């Protein structure tokens, strides 16, 4: 195994069984092999393993699926060669913008070992068939895409049209960049929807009286604790969408001054919803954010209610 190519062919030929309809690499076994090789070639071998994985997936799915490779990413796509190339360029541009804006929050290139992976699926059904493997049984919210932070972390998206696909990629790549930080889910999602709009301009942040009334009707002393703990983002009712919107408003309110905001993100943790970091950086409770929108109330995170 003197080359990345021979490594990937030999290692993955017997370590990529078809499970629930797709090639599922046995990443722990592959890691053991890579760890046994010279460390200076580890990045090359991880890239080769990811490349072989996506090529095998493209072969398994058949035409029109193909793999596009950019400087930092591998993209599985059912689109034409020209459209796939454009998607690859967008992935690189979006990643550069995210890393540039959040520079220094994480070490290294942010998307883990090897090249980043983005998988586009031709239909919603194919997307759900693929991604269901990573979820426990039960009811889950519908999604336009997902960052799968398991084993070889990657993004999976059902293709609809270029604008929607690009917006979803920007959103999920933000999660990819933030993957090593123990930040609360509301902050993670708030940053993701913020970058989705900054990169694609698809969701102007406005709250008309009718929408504000929906928020007022939903958020109360109990539901706000779901927001701080992350539970409201897993709801299958209107609370799901309202959670993303409220998270974006919170990020906008906190991020008006970049350096203190980055300090807050570095210190925020899911254990208390980010409360300690807010007190340390801004000198005030997170409940004050919510009070700006909905008036006085018991809006502070209850630390005992958080995971």
Give the count of domains, the chain. Answer: 2
Q: Which residues pair with 119 in a beta bridge?
A: 76, 156
Sign of CA dihedral 98, 102, 108, 112: negative
Q: Model's pTM, two decimal places?
A: 0.92
Residue 90 lies inside a defined structural domain of this protein:
yes
**120 and 223 part of one domain:** no
User: pLDDT by residue (tens digit) across 96-120?
Assistant: 999 999 988 887 666 778 899 999 9
- What are the backbone angles phi and psi of residue 185, rounded to the nearest 5°? -65, -35
Cβ-based burial of 197 (10 A; exposed 0-12, middle 13-18, buried ≥19): middle
* CATH number of the domain that residue 138 is part of: 3.40.30.160
In the chain, which ranges are continuous DSSP H helix?
4-13, 27-35, 42-61, 81-101, 124-131, 162-177, 185-200, 209-218, 223-229, 238-254, 258-267, 275-282, 287-294
Q: Which domain holds residue 222?
A: 209-305
Q: Are residues 137 and 257 in the same domain?
A: no
- C-alpha torsion sign, points 71, 73, 74, 76: negative
> Where residue 1 falls among pLDDT bands split at 50, 70, 90?
very low
Does residue 11 surpass a pLDDT of 90? no
**pLDDT digit string, tens, across residues 202-217:** 777 778 899 999 999 9
* Of 4-13, 54-63, 66-75, 134-143, the least confident: 4-13
Under DSSP, the state recorded for 140 is: -
Regarding whether 213 and 176 lie in a shared domain, the answer is no
Sole residue written with tokens 């034409």: 80
Six-digit token string for 143: 């999604």
In a domain, 195, yes or no: no
Distances (CA, A) of 37 to 4, 6, 58: 11, 13, 28
Using one digit for the tens of pLDDT, what is the confidence trace for 16-55? Answer: 999 999 999 999 999 998 898 888 989 998 999 999 999 9
- Chain center to CA of 137: 21
Tens digit of each residue's pLDDT (9 = 90 or more) over 235-289: 989 999 999 999 999 999 999 999 999 999 999 999 999 999 999 999 999 999 9
Which residue among 180, 199, 233 closes a domain?
180
């Amino acid at each position: 195994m003197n080359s990345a190519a021979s490594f990937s062919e030999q290692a993955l030929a017997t370590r990529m069984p078809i499970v629930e309809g797709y090639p599922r690499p046995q990443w722990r076994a592959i890691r053991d092999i890579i760890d046994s090789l010279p460390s200076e070639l580890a990045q090359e071998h991880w890239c080769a393993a990811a490349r072989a994985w996506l090529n095998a997936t493209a072969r398994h799915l058949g035409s029109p699926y193909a793999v596009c490779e950019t400087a930092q990413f591998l993209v599985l796509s059912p689109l034409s060669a020209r459209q796939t190339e454009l998607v690859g360029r967008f992935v690189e541009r979006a990643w550069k913008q995210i890393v540039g804006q959040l520079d220094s929050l994480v070490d290294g290139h942010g998307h883990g070992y090897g090249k980043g992976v983005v998988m586009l699926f031709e239909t919603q059904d194919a997307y759900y068939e693929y991604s269901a493997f990573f979820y426990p049984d039960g009811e889950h919210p519908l999604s336009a895409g997902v960052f799968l932070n398991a084993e070889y972390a990657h993004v999976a998206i059902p293709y609809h049209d270029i604008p929607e696909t690009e917006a979803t990629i920007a959103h999920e790549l933000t999660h990819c960049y933030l993957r090593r930080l123990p930040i609360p889910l509301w902050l993670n999602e708030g940053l993701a929807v913020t970058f989705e709009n900054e990169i694609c301009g698809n969701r102007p942040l406005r709250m008309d009286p009718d929408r504000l009334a929906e928020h007022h009707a939903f958020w109360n002393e109990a539901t706000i604790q779901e927001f701080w703990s992350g539970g409201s983002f897993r709801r299958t009712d209107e609370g799901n969408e309202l959670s993303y919107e409220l998270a974006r408003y919170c990020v906008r309110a906190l991020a008006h001054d970049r350096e203190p905001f980055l300090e807050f993100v570095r210190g925020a943790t899911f254990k208390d919803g980010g409360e300690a970091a807010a007190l340390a950086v801004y000198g005030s409770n997170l409940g004050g954010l919510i009070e700006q929108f909905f008036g006085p109330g018991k809006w502070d995170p209850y630390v005992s209610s958080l995971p």
